[in-house]
Chains A and B, each alone.
Chain A
Amino acid sequence: MGLLSNKNTGSETNPINYQKAALVNFPGSIEIPNEETIINCIHCGMCLSVCPTYQLTGMEKSSPRGRIRLIKIVAEGNLDLTPNFIDEMDFCLDCQACQTVCPAGVKFGQLVEASRDQIANVGKDPQHFRKRFFFRFIFPSHARLKIIAAMLRLYQKFLQKILRKIGFFHLLPKKLGRMDQLAPKISDKFSDKILKEDMRPKGEIKYRVGFLKGCLMNVMFADINKDTVDVLLENDCEVIMPKNQVCCGSLAAHNGDFKSAKSLAKKNIIAFLAHDLDAIVINSAGCSAFMKEYGELLQDDPEYSDKAKELSAKVKDVHEFLVEIDFKQPKFPVQKKITYHDACHLAHSQQITDEPRRILQAIPGLEIVELNESTMCCGSAGIYNMVRYDDSMKLLKRKVDNIVDTQAEVVIAANPGCAGQIEYGLRNREIDIKVMNPMTLLKMSYGLPPAGETE
């Protein structure tokens, strides 16, 4: 039954007549987005105020409330998976800012991901091949990712300068030319080279923690991985980085590829549960957020459901973990004026906003200025900046404008996606503000040498 049936609206309302499309949309085994989650939305509209895509367009269909309504009508079989519908699902950043402000507790992220899953499964996603290439071929394999990163590193070291100089990229189609710039600098050494499988603190071991090296973190932010591990060691943790760990699967799931995500989750469960760990500490917000959801992801899997719950219970974002164990107070002053950008996957997916600030506030010498709209997405959003470049750049501009307004010399981004994106935005506009990670500053304030200089 279509819910849009003129209830109580008196005689003058418009009768609604949709083509029935349920069977086209949800053939056989494909799950429809959870009805209870849909009906939980009372369309009060509070989510509109924080939705980046609504801010960009002012159109109701580009808001969480509008999208939920569209998903509902599709689920009821009264709207086909139209190009417009698909585009709206794709336009959403899945930043989940709406969830933070939703008094009713609607899990919007799950809805939009389920919708993307349907779209992918009926083969209607226009970016299908591009996404599948990333999610089924590149990310699941650390080996392949490293080969690509190594090629990119060679390129960045030797070829990029020359090609940029001779204006090569102006000859390419615009989109290809941009890719060159969007990629953050590849680390000189990947973190699995600089870090060991089992690292012990100097003194007594108080905690035994697992460490996820991350896909992007491993190849693009290896120094930050090193800083994170050093901070953990300084806090009396033994750090285990299992060799057989894989990509967490979040990028796949956020784009509706649950099959890949589940298979990756299982591999990580095997890798980490093989060790007796107090916590699994993660410095990439998207990964920690997603691994906390393994329990739900695999709840119907008879073999893995319990193990998935066990693993999820141990997952901690590194800031969350440090605050929980009452981290060692840093002593050495770091004289810098900084501002802090909230990563969506920390602030909205995990409600972690206080902990990174508390760590920064503990560092003597830092002057911290609050960033206007700090919890608004920077437009990075997984691979959003590659597949929806123009929309992503509008949000990045807004973010960079806000950063510039603070007059800080450093912007802190505690997540690799955001760090790369913001760095790109600043570089592009030739603005002299550095992007740094809280762990790097904390390590400095512990009086330890910067990552680049220890090898």
Chain B
Amino acid sequence: MNTNVMNRLQSIVGKNNIYSSQEDRIAYSYDGTPVLEALPDAAVRAHSVEEISQILKLANETGFSVIPRGSGTGLSGGSIPTKDSVILLMNHWDKIVEIDRENLTALVQPGVITADLHHAVEKVGLFYPPDPGSMTICTIGGNVAENAGGLRGLKYGVTKNYVMGIEAVLANGDIVKLGGKNVKDVSGYNLKDFLVGSEGTIAIFTQILLKLIPKPKAQKTMLAYFQNMTNAAQTVSDIIAAHIIPATLEFLDQTTIQCVEDFAGIGLPKNIGALLLIEVDGHPAQVEDETKQIIPIANKNGASEVKIASTEKEADDLKTARRSAFAALARAKPTTILEDATVPRSQLAPMVDKIQNIAEKYQIRMGVFGHAGDGNLHPTALTDERDSDEMHRVEQAFEEIFREALELGGTLTGEHGVGLAKKRYLEEWSSSGQKELMQKLKRALDPNNVLNPGKIFDVQF
């Protein structure tokens, strides 16, 4: 970026809000995605919607790209810099503007940390369900941009189910307000939903209106141990077939259990083949009833033990341990490459078998865990980026996993997004017309390709 452009950027945000030292550029060269990295020209902080608008206008005029960034926990490379780019820091936009207890909504700036919102709304008896594993640090803006899921997705859905309105700056600098507090609203296209999951390529969110629900009165957290993954997966299908929808239905395989236990030290047995973490919540009577139904289903599928957490702290420890799964796997090998393939719930057991066979075929050590109830699996290759031969086999294995998932009626990514990491696969496997329509929209809304270019797909202009 030449000095003239840098000076103009400076006159928009002020000298102290531009970070272009080597050290700052290095610190914004990555996110949570393995292997991918690149240097930005600078990072900037804007302090008003107007400043963001001016930055985007300047970008259109002079040709640099703008990459919005929350906390950089993304797992598909969404906030990784591209050529001639400026990282637009959004983590300091961290005010909870309003919690409306009559309309059950929260109006937040995009940099609010997800867990901070949880605490704030739970204090007044309300509940914001989406709880990604990274919730202690990821931002609501990042969640909306990736349409993040979480442990409570099975019963409560994902981020998109809670977004009621968005204020955003479009690529050309236009400021728009979409949606609002109305529970029903059909005045035209459903535009806010188009922004959910847009991965920073269409607009920069500056305010988000979220739906809240009353906090469930009771909950029960259980662990069920199994000899193998297939039995655990069958239990998941059977629970849902019995018309019970737990808030949480997560599973971990043996490798993951071992690593998680090494980190958390909460007494998980290291010799079992798989475990399910199950949480039911709601009215106390319903919670009792569902717990009573789940235990025999697990036992029928060969569970060696079903344990119920006796205190809230014990339940929290179990969930925290589950949330650590991805990073805890790094204890086994330095590089953990995690995928996000998702299949319809009924196909969970066959998919699990396929993953195991593929790992064997390519001789890859794989840890598998995930949001079992959603059919959303995280097969995670444990490898070492310095070993190029193994890295190649990892790539082949994932290609085959994706193919199998799609054959079972599944999709490439359930919640982490396409970004850079899965762009190549989208190229090959997007459903008919989907990619072309997305590209058309991108071209129309960002004709100079300044907003997070090259993410999700490439566009020819």
Contact = CB atoms under 8 A, between A and B. Distances in A.
A46 B71 CA distance: 10
B327 A70 contact: no
A11 B458 CA distance: 10
B200 to A, nearest CB: 15
Interface string B11-37: 000000001011110111111101111
Contacts of B39: 4, 14, 16
B85 interface: yes
A46 B326 CA distance: 11
A325 interface: no
A60 B40 CA distance: 14
A117 to B, nearest CB: 20
Nearest to B74: A45
Contact of A104 (B28, B113, B327, B386): B327
A102 interface: yes
B454 A10 contact: yes
Given A14-B38, A14-B41, A42 B136 contact: no
A7 B36 contact: yes
| Residue from A12, A84, A101 having most chain B Cβ neighbours under 10 A | A12
Interface stretch (B171-179, B214-222, B330-338): B330-338
A79 B22 contact: yes
B40 A14 contact: yes
B118 interface: no
Interface in A52-84: 58-61, 63, 66, 69-70, 73, 79, 82, 84
B83 interface: yes
B80 A9 contact: yes
B327 A42 contact: yes
A63 B71 CA distance: 11
A14 B82 contact: yes
Contacts of B115: 49
| Residue from B82, B326, B327, B334 having most chain A Cβ neighbours under 10 A | B327
| Residue from B113, B137, B262 having most chain A Cβ neighbours under 10 A | B137
Interface string B411-427: 00000000011010000
Nearest to B35: A7
Contacts of A10: 82, 420, 423, 454, 458
A355 interface: no
A104 B37 contact: no
A88 interface: yes
A441 interface: no
A58 to B, nearest CB: 5
B101 interface: no
B21 A79 contact: no
Given A14-B40, A48-B71, A70 B26 contact: yes
Interface in B383-428: 386, 420-421, 423
Interface string A84-102: 1100100000000000011
B38 A61 contact: no
Nearest to B111: A58
Interface string A273-304: 00000000000000000000000000000000
A70 B23 contact: yes
Contact of A69 (B29, B262, B331, B458): B29
Interface in A331-365: none
Given A44-B326, A84-B22, A103-B328, A9 B420 contact: yes
Contacts of A29: none
B263 A44 contact: no
A14 B36 contact: no
A105 interface: yes
Nearest to A60: B27
| Residue from B23, B32, B92 having most chain A Cβ neighbours under 10 A | B23
A105 B27 contact: no
B360 interface: no
A82 B23 CA distance: 9
A13 B31 CA distance: 15
Contacts of B136: 46, 49, 101
Interface in B29-61: 29-32, 34-41
Contacts of B73: 44-45
Contact of A105 (B37, B138, B326, B331): B331
A3 interface: yes
B82 A13 contact: yes
Contacts, number: 142
Contacts of A63: 27
A102 B27 CA distance: 19
B122 to A, nearest CB: 15
B82 A49 contact: no
Contacts of A79: 22-23, 26
A9 B37 contact: yes
A46 B91 contact: no
Nearest to B326: A44
A69 B30 contact: yes
A9 B92 contact: no
B324 interface: yes
Contacts of A66: 27
Nearest to B75: A44
B37 A3 contact: yes
B400 to A, nearest CB: 19
A149 B299 CA distance: 68
A76 to B, nearest CB: 11
Contacts of B26: 4, 61, 69-70, 73, 79
A286 to B, nearest CB: 23
B77 interface: yes
B34 A61 contact: no
B81 interface: yes
Contacts of B19: 59
B24 A9 contact: no
| Residue from B32, B41, B421 having most chain A Cβ neighbours under 10 A | B32
Nearest to B386: A39
Contact of B137 (A8, A39, A45, A103): A45
B137 A49 contact: yes
Given A40-B330, A59-B19, A105-B331, A14 B83 contact: yes
Contact of B32 (A7, A43, A73): A43
Given A40-B334, A48-B137, A69-B29, A105 B263 contact: yes
B370 interface: no
A144 to B, nearest CB: 38
B39 to A, nearest CB: 5
Nearest to B91: A58
Given A8-B36, A44-B32, A45-B72, A14 B84 contact: yes
A407 interface: no
A128 to B, nearest CB: 21
A329 interface: no
B347 interface: no
A60 B72 contact: yes
A41 B330 CA distance: 8
Contacts of B92: 58
A4 B38 contact: yes
A263 interface: no
A34 interface: no
B439 interface: no
A-B residue pairs, 5 tightest by C-beta: A103-B327, A104-B330, A103-B324, A13-B38, A61-B27
Given A4-B39, A18-B22, A39-B386, 10 more contacts: A4-B38, A9-B38, A10-B423, A10-B458, A12-B82, A43-B31, A44-B327, A45-B32, A45-B73, A59-B27
Interface of B: 19, 21-24, 26-32, 34-41, 71-73, 77, 80-85, 89, 91-92, 113, 115, 134, 136-138, 260, 262-263, 324-328, 330-331, 334-336, 386, 420-421, 423, 453-454, 458
22 contacts: A9-B37, A9-B77, A13-B81, A13-B82, A39-B334, A42-B34, A42-B336, A43-B31, A44-B73, A45-B73, A45-B137, A46-B327, A49-B115, A61-B24, A69-B29, A79-B23, A82-B23, A103-B260, A103-B328, A104-B327, A105-B263, A105-B331
